[in-house]
Amino acid sequence: MKQAEQLDNLPGTVGEGLTQRGISRREFLKFCSSLTALLALPPSMASAMAEAISKARRQSVIWLSFQECTGCTESITRSHSPTLENLIFDLISLDYHHTLQAASAEAAEHAREQAMKDNAGKYLLIVDGSVPLGNPGFSTIAGISNHDMLVETAKGAAAIVAVGTCAAYGGIPKAGPNPTGAVAVGDIIKDKPIINVPGCPPIPVVMTGVLVHFLTFGSIPELDELGRPKSFYGETIHDRCYRRPFYDQGKFAQSFDDEAARQGWCLFKLGCKGPVTYNACATTKWNDGTSFPIQSGHGCIGCSEPNFWDAGPLYKALSVPASATSEMLGAAAAVGAAAGVAITWHNRSTKAAANTAHEKVTVQELTQEKK
């Protein structure tokens, strides 16, 4: 009864909810302006966005966590614009999320089923973590395997957001030898629009930004060939890195604590994977725009790329062979030398045989008249 009363008191649209909470239109427009900047939209879109969001009903969101470390949830709780609180109280109805919801056990599962029933075909499904196919028992929730829960919940979803590299591409659980047979959401669900928001974890405002885009436009943003929103994953870390001029000048740190590192020189030689990593870390940054890994002195490990964990040593430069060794080349030289000796022996034998077979012609034979 009490729960029913609470539901009745919930605002119908986002605009009504904002009015109830005493948020002025000016404040809301300011919020929308920051969102348009975040999504790389023209400033004129701010008012259109405000209009769209205020008229929209709070979006039902179901968040499923599979083989993951909760790092993605930890990350999204640190979103600053919009904050997760903004999202939950103003824009979305987070109907199911293991870590954040108060309900547990059967009540929690009931909340998921209820949300799926009430918002069939309309709810947004967010998934973090990979799905193990090796054995259904490797990862279960309320006795339901990750695979079955994903397939069941995806059926009525309007779209799916695969949050984190594990959900987007398999991530660390999929790293060789992939003991659980981990796969990405996109390997299982083929008939729904999927937005990949990779990163280990993804940047908080990138996650919230993607959600806001869906809420505003009711559609998924423009994606690249790996299913990532181009507005956040359109450029490499390297190209937007504040240390890039040092790379161009040939100035590199040789170790993490040398003078060059203290001067902020490029970390390429220390294994930075920024040149092949598409993400917004260098521009959006983390912790309310405070810093990002390279700024704090560590190279990028390429965590938003598929199979980054198996893409060669983390602390070796990209231009360095992933596994070649001088011992290996020494062995190759020995093989070459042995083959060279064999060929030399063969050549000399041929030459000696030709010398032996050669019949000398005498002057007498040359001057002898034909009979």
Binding site for other proteins (CB under 8 A): 169, 226, 236, 239, 247-250, 252, 268-269, 275-276, 302, 305-308, 310-312, 316-324, 326, 328-329, 331-333, 335-337, 339-341, 343-344, 347-348
Q: 142 is written with which tokens?
A: 């309320």
Alpha helices in the chain (DSSP H): 2-9, 14-20, 25-38, 45-55, 71-76, 84-86, 105-118, 146-154, 164-169, 171-174, 185-188, 204-217, 230-233, 237-240, 244-249, 259-262, 281-284, 326-357, 363-367
At which residue do the structure tokens 């427009």 appear?
A: 29
Q: Cβ of residue 248: shortest distance to other proteins, in angstroms?
A: 5
Give the integer Cα–Cα distance in Å for 23 and 27: 7
Give the integer Cα–Cα distance in Å for 227 and 165: 12
Q: Cβ of residue 163: shortest distance to other proteins, in angstroms?
A: 19
Task: Return the number of the residue (219 or 344) whose C-beta is nearest other proteins.
Answer: 344
At which residue do the structure tokens 């002195």 appear?
A: 297
Task: Return the number of the residue (25 or 351) whose C-beta is nearest other proteins.
Answer: 351
Q: Cβ of residue 271: shortest distance to other proteins, in angstroms?
A: 10
Q: Cβ of residue 315: shortest distance to other proteins, in angstroms?
A: 12
Q: Residue 160: CA atoms inside 13 Å, Cβ hemisphere, count? A: 27
Task: Return the number of the residue (82 or 171) whose C-beta is nearest other proteins.
Answer: 171
Task: Return the number of the residue (151 or 352) whose C-beta is nearest other proteins.
Answer: 352
H or E element in which residue 159 lies? strand 157-163
Q: Cβ of residue 176: shortest distance to other proteins, in angstroms?
A: 11
Task: Return the number of the residue (151 or 324) whose C-beta is nearest other proteins.
Answer: 324
Give the integer Cα–Cα distance in Å for 53 and 292: 31
Cβ(135)–Cβ(180) under 8 Å? yes
Would strands 182-183 and 131-132 be described as parallel, antiparallel, or unpaired? Answer: antiparallel
Q: Cβ of residue 66: shortest distance to other proteins, in angstroms?
A: 21
Task: Return the number of the residue (29 or 338) whose C-beta is nearest other proteins.
Answer: 338
Q: Cβ of residue 333: shortest distance to other proteins, in angstroms?
A: 5
Give the integer Cα–Cα distance in Å for 349 and 328: 32
Task: Return the number of the residue (96 or 169) whose C-beta is nearest other proteins.
Answer: 169
